[in-house]
Amino acid sequence: MPSPESYPIFAPAPGPPQKWTKDVLIQHMQSAMQVELSTIPLYICALNSIIPDNGGPSSNARVSILAVVEQEMLHLSLAGNMLRALGGKQALYDKGFMPTYPSKILYDEIDMQLRAADKKNIENFLKLEAPYKPPVETSHMMFKVNLLPGYRSIGMFYEHVETGIKELWKDNKYLFKDNHDKQFSGADFFNTQMVVIQDERTALRALKTIVDQGEGSIGVPDSHYATFVGLYSERKKWTCYEYIDEPTTDKYKSDPLIYQLSLAFDASYCYLLQVIDRLWLEQNPTVRKHLMRTIHRVMLDITPPLGNLLVPAELSGQASRALL
């Protein structure tokens, strides 16, 4: 596994650039990866908070959020592919890169909290996945938020990325020449939706998938924004476990079982990130197949069962539940 020292120090994109360069586009794709990675725990926690009801409204809500989670994983993979094609790299398993909660995102400082699928949280999801908003005056900004402080929406962020790709491609037809054999492909997962980035066409195709599925799109029936609009109108039809405020594994030390379950979940998630990091550096087909099998096993056979055990567990002496 590569050491953290072999990766560049992460510096998030502060806002729309005055001039696009390859380095600026690399910085934006690193930030895209961070944003996509940041949404996954938010949605998984909301999903697992909904108490199953064997085919009723709760089950439908869980399935809808799970579909969003899966697509965020696709978006993370596409952003990472584009970064590798540009010759850049970014470790997911990096303390300076991994998201922390609670936190905030975008110029409007939208809350990112690990909490149940309640009214407040779904409202935050709607703000997060909201359509493109007009640019803001950057010269007077106070950069106080953690993610994309110079952008009003994720859609706005990707609109600028599209502009950067087109501008740079005009003068550099070798912009995406690197690491084609170190990217995720449709044979790994997501079939035709997964794109190996090789040129402007494939880069824009990947970007369109991200935007159409939810990051700032509107009028797309199955977009993330449309999904959360539907969930917001149905939110009174399900019940949720009550979680402790601002959950962390350390808060479970009073209950040995829950504490160990939480440690195991944390370990499996961190291991998953490390394996993905390794895959983006590996070109040997045999090794890549082994890494992909590991990714599938962790995602399907380890992390979900741990979550299913952890979420319903009640902390000793408290009414609140544990949270991933």
For residues 281 and 289, what is the distance between their CA atoms, to the nearest angstrom? 13
Task: Spell out, as residue ranges, where the chain has pLDDT lower than 50.
Answer: 4-5, 134-145, 319-320
For residues 167 and 23, what is the distance between their CA atoms, to the nearest angstrom? 13
Can you tell me whether residue 111 is helix, strand or coil?
strand
| Maximum distance among all Cα pairs of the chain, rounded to whole angstroms | 65
Among 240, 272, 291, the domain boundary falls at 240
> Do residues 166 and 182 share a domain?
yes
Can you tell me whether residue 240 is helix, strand or coil?
strand
> Do residues 287 and 250 share a domain?
yes
Domains in the chain, number = 2
Q: Which tokens in the block code for residue 233?
A: 């109108």
Per-residue pLDDT, 287: 97
> Do residues 172 and 270 share a domain?
no
Per-residue pLDDT, 143: 35
- Report whether 64 contacts 235 (CB < 8 A): no
Per-residue pLDDT, 216: 54
Per-residue pLDDT, 133: 53
> Do residues 236 and 286 share a domain?
no
Can you tell me whether residue 105 is helix, strand or coil?
strand
Tens digits of per-residue pLDDT, 245-272?
788 899 889 889 899 999 999 999 999 9
- Return phi, psi of residue 261, to 5°: -60, -40
> Do residues 205 and 310 share a domain?
no
The residue segments making up the domain with residue 312 are 244-324
Q: DSSP E strands: which ranges in the chain?
A: 103-105, 110-112
Per-residue pLDDT, 144: 39
- Report whether 122 contacts 45 (CB < 8 A): no
For residues 256 and 194, what is the distance between their CA atoms, to the nearest angstrom? 41
> Do residues 268 and 224 share a domain?
no
Radius of gyration of the chain (CA): 20
For residues 80 and 101, what is the distance between their CA atoms, to the nearest angstrom? 22
AA letter at 95: K
> Do residues 59 and 163 share a domain?
yes
Per-residue pLDDT, 307: 85
Among 240, 256, 276, the domain boundary falls at 240
CATH number of the domain at 75, please.
Answer: 1.20.1260.10
Per-residue pLDDT, 4: 47
> Do residues 77 and 142 share a domain?
yes
For residues 224 and 216, what is the distance between their CA atoms, to the nearest angstrom? 9
